[in-house]
Amino acid sequence: MPEQDTPAAARMAALRLEIERLDHAYYVLDDPQASDADYDRLMRELQALEAQYPQWMRADSPTQRVGGAVRADLQPAPHGVPMLSLNNALNDAEAEAFDARVRTALAAAAAAPQPPAAVADAADAAGEVGYCCELKFDGLAVSLRYRDGVLERAATRGDGAVGEDVTANVRTIRPVPLRLAHPVPGVLEIRGEVLMFRADFERLNAHQRAHEAKEFANPRNAAAGSLRQLDPSITAQRRLHFFAYGAVNAGGAATAAEGGAPGLLPDGSVPASQWDLLDALLALGLPVCEHRRRARGIAGLRAFYEDIARQRDALPYEIDGVVFKVDDLAQQKRLGHVARAPRWAVARKFPPQEAQTRVLGIDVQVGRTGALTPVARLVPVEVGGVMVSSVSLHNEDEIRRKDLRIGDTVTVRRAGDVIPQVVAVLPALRPPGAEAFAFPQQCPVCGSAVERAPDEVVARCSGGLFCPAQRKQALLHFAGRRALDIDGVGEKLIDQLVDAGLVQHPAGLFELDTGALEGLERMGEKSAANVHAALQAARKTTLERFIYALGMRHVGETTARDLARHFGSFAALAAADEAELLRVPDVGPVVASAIRRFLDEPRNLEEVSALLSHLEIAAPEPRPTEQALAGATFVLTGTLPTLTRDEAAALIQAAGGTVSSAVSKKTRYLVAGAEAGSKLAKARDLGVTIIDEDGLRALLAAGKSDGA
């Protein structure tokens, strides 16, 4: 039957074309168009079909090559010994099957006529094989050629037979020695991985953002793009790293990855095992990863995999699995290899931390503090062992920066227990009619105006007292110790009150009776009476506490007190424009604008009016003018020896001083305790007077003694 006349053959042809397209994008353009998991799925499907229909196997099939192609703008670099890839084991069953194949092959070798020593090795290994376990780095495979111990050429893997000459770029990678620690006569090729550490990747993308340049999707993509630059000075700026894991001997006939090893040791002897080879590479001055282990049998392999899986997120670089290699190099040689991979090694892959999916829509959620967060609804996809159907897009700027549209195909990442995130948008897969997202101007929950300060990336609902999404947070703040200080009204009680529909807004607290409270879980008659009494006591409060309790953005206790003293009543505050607000000490443009936006929201004023009908607000005390610290602004930082920050602030305020949360040119004193942070450095830069607790007490004492 002709190949083209069957569904299976048509599928094989389609798979070959798609894999070749993905290979070109990944290896040549440094622009991955599919996640590792999706690529592996396509490759395994093609391998299965070729095994089922061997008559339609093609010599140019992607399964018969390592993958990739040489970029036209880089010089080709043939490999004396091909750089092979590794077969994957995606679960415990496939790892066990690998170990079984190795044991079977070595047992067969033991049964065949061989020299006595070789038969003994194979017979021992047939029972329980010894392995060298290493990490599978998410980087770019390279080969370093040393002639008489001096670096002569560096090449990428390319298609396995021919790579790209990247010698000038590799010379800029500081961990790569230009001369080996002791000379190895003739030609020695070191096989290893170029990679980028996570911290360097973050710095690189921050630089790309600052210069409005394209960001890299992941550290592997960044490492590949950096290594294959035509200008080595660019590579030098990217801070790449290198780990060695194999070697090709001087004659080019065998490798540690092919069942042999060169005479790497100072006496010219040959390592007998993969473990010894890694030690020899380390002795030559080559970086070798410390995370390796010798193990015996499948139990040892499983233990290493599980141990590294636990450490994975703490490693400074990305890995996507571990590698199991038969440790004995003579056994490696007898096992040999197939077209594109050795029989004596396998990559035990972790569940993919990245996957591709499609954006179905974008919703906006309102948080407890009023922050609006866009959330993408996705076609459900498994990432890191968890099914992901939605992911936060953080803010409006992030959507615009990534040019994310409804209908786009995206790469989603979930590392460990980290919340999933969109790491890349794939514009090449964008369907016609993909919609740009318009950020709402009204809160999707309560309809209040959405505000965004000029210096912030987060947009917020302005209906803080009214918005149902902010209800619990507003109530908790309102009843807090520094606000109306309603004893017994904490997070658990507020959760019950809101969930039961008993309280919608802060004013509703004062409408509760003991009967309603007694109906709540774990709220007996006495407890209900205590809470009710606390609510009645809280009806008498001060203007500064009331202003603070409203939860206006940027209005802390000190600002609330200054507002109360300046205006004398809430009616006067509500009528003030921004110019009048700026006359209040320590109220700048950002704070004045936030106050005015809160007061301009009609729903907030309705709630304030309801509250005022329940409360008796005492007039504020006038600002002291002749006290020890009158007019002085203090900032507190660190841990003081005997005073808490609240106690120190109370002493300062009682003496007429003002306590601010941020250091500025208006700050007169910084009171610094143990483990003072960035505020101390800023105070030094601005020339602010820095004192400790003893200095503060001295100021207070001096004021009392001279009556100033």
Positions annotated as catalytic residues are 136
What does DSSP assign to residue 428?
G
Q: What DSSP letter does each residue of 209-228 carry, written as one string?
A: HHTT-PPPSSHHHHHHHHHT
User: Are 388 and 420 spatial neighbours (Cβ–Cβ below 8 Å)?
Assistant: yes
Which is it for strands 372-383 and 386-392: parallel, antiparallel or unpaired? antiparallel
> What is the Cα–Cα distance from 543 to 555, expressed in whole angstroms?
13
| H/E stretch holding 332 | helix 329-335
Query: What distance in Å separates the CA atoms of residue 686 and residue 406, rounded to the nearest whole number?
Result: 48
**Helix (H), strand (E), coil (C) string for 637-705:** ECECCCCCHHHHHHHHHHCCCEEECCCCCCCCEEEECECCCHHHHHHHHHCCEEECHHHHHHHHHHHHH
HSE of 45, CA atoms in CB hemisphere, 13 A: 16
| Separation between Cα atoms, residue 369 and residue 473, nearest integer Å | 7
User: What would the two tokens of residue 110 be?
Assistant: 């033991």
| Burial of residue 417, with CB atoms counted within 10 A of its CB: 0-12 exposed, 13-18 middle, 19 or more buried | exposed
Q: Is the dihedral of CA 281, 283, 287, 291 positive or negative?
A: positive
* Residue 623: DSSP 8-state: P
Residue 318, Ramachandran bin (φ over 0: left; ψ between -120 and 50: alpha; else beta): beta
CA nearest neighbour of 315 among 139, 87, 94: 139
Backbone φ, ψ for residue 530 (5° rounding): -65, -45
Please list the helix, strand and coil fractions of the chain in percent, rounded to the nearest 5, in that order: 40, 20, 40
Question: Helix (H, G, I), strand (E, B), or coil: what is residue 293?
Answer: strand
460: Cβ contacts below 8 Å, ≥ 6 apart: 369, 370, 371, 372, 450, 451, 452, 553
Token readout for 153 is 């050429």
Any residues with CB less than 8 A from the CB of 694 and at least 6 apart, and which?
none
Cα separation, 357 vs 379, whole angstroms? 6
Beta-carbon count within 10 A of 410 CB: 25
